[in-house]
Structure 1
Amino acid sequence: MRIGVLLLPADPWAQTVARARHIEELGYAHLWTYDHLSWRRYRDEPWHATIPWLTGVAAATERIRLGTMVTSPNFRHPVTLGKDVMTLDHICGGRLTIGVGAGGTGFDATVLGNVAPTARERTARFAEFVEVLDGVLRSREYTFRGSFYAADEARMIPGCVQRPRVPLAVAATGPKSLRLAARFGDAWVTTGEPNATDRSGAAIEAAVRRQGALLDEQCAAIGRDPASLQRIIVTGDTEERPLASVAAFEDFVGRYERLGFTDVVVHDPRPGDPVLTDDPAIIDAIATLNRT
């Protein structure tokens, strides 16, 4: 099981660099950040832009993989995103993974003056977003016209360092998004059932088990080996606290490893945050459990 850490892009830059380097020195496999313009309880707090943030972290580190958890169509166009991704892949020397998701109904959904899309519209938009991002990153020249996006001879030169393109980690919980993960994903990302009222560890695990079975079915339908997808579980705002102790984390990792997951991503605890309340020292304590 590979273990990664998610840092919020909310700290002074010197502090961010020191933390990123420390996480790399501890031997973690990957380091992620959110891709939002503002987020939840940090709406009126410092919050930095994702691509420049990752560019700076790429320059400050050498080995650890980097990524977004996750980028959405709420304020991104896949052609301009693709150019940023290609460039960042060169800056970091091929250490980049782009997590992508459908986007929610939060601040990012309306910040550009748009009416927040319905769930059906978000799903349809996400399908085009992933298809175009995949196409533009694979192609020297790419043309597409759909209901939400268009590209006219979009150039992607010199192309990504990683071939055939930067890996995509597709966040998916329902049948349509899991179909996208099966078709385009190098990895599948889940946090469980995001809108469920039952946020217990048992309920999340049951939801993830159902999602994994459906992903296997979607892979079989297109002739893909389900084992060819990495599977990433992101710990988050649930009743279970896997970072409460080393023993709790070992138990969490063991259970999800048995479910076929290859990677776990934990949030870096933040003093003063009402949700990410675990002791920051736990990140040092569980580092030895990382198995790359």
Structure 2
Amino acid sequence: MRLGVLLLPTDPWPRSVARARHLEALGYAHLWTYDHLSWRRYRDEPWHAAIPWLTGLAGVTSRVRLGTMVTSPTFRHPVLLAKEALTLDHVSDGRLTLGVGAGGTGFDATVLGDPVLSPRQRADRLTEFVDVLDGLLRSQVYSHRGEHYTVDDARMVPGCVQRPRLPIALAAAGPRTLALTARHADAWITFGEPDAADQSPAAIEAAVRRQAAILDDRCAALGRDPAALDRIYLVGNTAERPLASVAAFEDFVGRYEALGFTDVVFHDPRPGDPVWTEDPEIADAIAERLIKR
């Protein structure tokens, strides 16, 4: 089981650098950040753009993988995102994982004046978005004409450091996006059923089992080994508090490892945050017990 930490791109840069270096030194496998223009309770707080922020972290770290959790078509075009991701893959010496999802209905969805899409429309758009991203990142010259995107002879030279392209991790919960994950992704990201009324540990685990079964079936239909996909669980904002103690986290990780997950990512606790209220030093204690051991 690999462990990762999600950092918000909101702190003064020296503090972000110090925290990223510390987490890398502790042995965490990957660091992630949200890709939003603004976000929930931090809408009126400092909030930096994900790709430049990760590029900065790439320059001050040397081992830890970096990723978006997740970028989406909500305010991005696949050609521009592919070019930025390719560049970050080079700057980081092949340490980027590009997390991608359908996008939601919050601030990002309305800031450019676009209509808010239904879940089906967002899934349609994501399917084409990922198809185009995959084609761009695998090619040095690429064209496409579809319902949502037109690409005319895009140049992607010199290509990715990681071959055949940098890894894509897809956030997916429903049958359509899980099928897309089976077709294109190197990793699957989930945190259960975010809109379900029951967010108890048992209900979340049951939802994840259902999702995993669908993903396995979709992989099998394509002749793909389901074990070839990394499976990343993002610890959600639920009643369960796995960061309450090292023992609670170890139990949590054991349960999700038994469900077939290869990676667990948790939000770095933040002093003053109303949700992630744990002591930030829990990350040190977890590393001492689960990573260094």
1:104 partner amino acid: G
Aligned to 2:186: 186
**Residue 86 in structure 1 maps to residue 83 in structure 2:** no
Match of 2:291 in 1: 290
Aligned 8 A contact 1:3 1:291 in 2? no
Q: 2: CA distance between counterparts of 1:205 and 1:43?
A: 31
Q: What root-mean-square deviation, in Å, do the aligned CA atoms of Structure 1 and Structure 2 show?
A: 1.0
- Secondary structure of the equivalent of 1:98? strand
Contact (CA 8 Å) 2:100, 2:168: kept in 1 or not? yes
Paired position in structure 1 for 2:136: 136
- Displacement of 1:290 in angstroms is 2.9
Distance 1:291 1:186, change over 3 A: farther
Q: Distance in 1 between matches of 2:239 and 2:196?
A: 12
For 1:107-141, what per-residue CA distance to the aligned partner results, in whole angstroms no more than 9, with x for missing partners?
00011111111111101000001100010000011
Identity %: 71
AA matched with 1:204: I
Aligned to 2:281: 281
Deviations 1:43-74 (A, max 9, x none): 10000011110010000000000000000100
| CA distance in structure 2 between the partners assigned to 1:214 and 1:190 by the alignment | 13
CA contact (8 A) 2:170 2:187 kept: yes
> Are the aligned partners of 2:142 and 2:155 in contact in 1 as well (CA < 8 Å)?
yes
**Contact in 2 for aligned 1:2/1:291 (Cα 8 Å):** no
* Aligned position for 2:233: 233
Distance 1:9 1:291 in 2: 27
Q: Is the contact between residue 188 and residue 231 of structure 1 (CA under 8 Å) also seen in structure 2? A: yes
Q: What's the CA shift for 1:200?
A: 1.0
Q: 1:110 maps to what in 2?
A: 110
- With structure 2 as the length reference, what TM-score do the two structures score? 0.98
Kindly report structure 1 stretches of 4+ aligned residues shifted beyond 2 Å: none
Instruction: Say which SS state the counterpart of residue 147 (structure 1) adopts.
Output: coil
Unaligned runs of 5+ in 2: none
Deviations 1:66-110 (A, max 9, x none): 000000100011110000000000000000000000000010001
Partner of 1:171: 171
Match of 1:19 in 2: 19
| Aligned 8 A contact 1:169 1:189 in 2 | yes
User: What is the aligned partner in structure 1 of residue 95 from structure 2?
Assistant: 95
Equivalent positions of 1:113-124 (< 5 A) are 113-124=113-124
Distance in structure 1 (CA, Å) of the matches to 2:248 and 2:276: 16
Offset at 1:291? 7.8
- Partner in structure 1 of residue 30 of structure 2: 30
Q: What is the aligned partner in structure 1 of residue 4 from structure 2?
A: 4
Tell me the residue number matched to 2:157. 157
Aligned residues: 292
Say whether the 8 Å CA contact 1:29–1:290 is kept in structure 2.
no
- Tell me if the contact between 2:182 and 2:219 (Cα under 8 Å) persists in the aligned partners: yes
**Aligned-partner residue type, residue 205 of structure 2:** E
* Residues 27, 292 of structure 2: 8 Å contact kept: no
Instruction: Give a deviation string over 1:168-194, Cα, whole Å, max 9, x none.
Output: 000000000000110001000000001
1:199, distance to aligned residue in structure 2 (A):
1.0
Matching of residue 246 in structure 1 with residue 238 in structure 2: no
CA deviation vs aligned residue, 1:153-174 (integer Å, no higher than 9, x gap) = 1110000000011100000000
What is the identity, as a one-letter code, of the residue corresponding to 1:13? W
C-alpha displacement at 1:12, in angstroms? Answer: 0.1
Structure 2 residue aligned with 1:54:
54
Give the structure 1 partner of residue 267 of structure 2. 267
Contact 1:26/1:284 (CA < 8 Å) preserved in 2?
yes
Conserved in 1, the CA contact under 8 Å of 2:9 and 2:50?
yes
Letter in 2 for 1:171: A
Distance 1:291 1:179, change over 3 A: farther
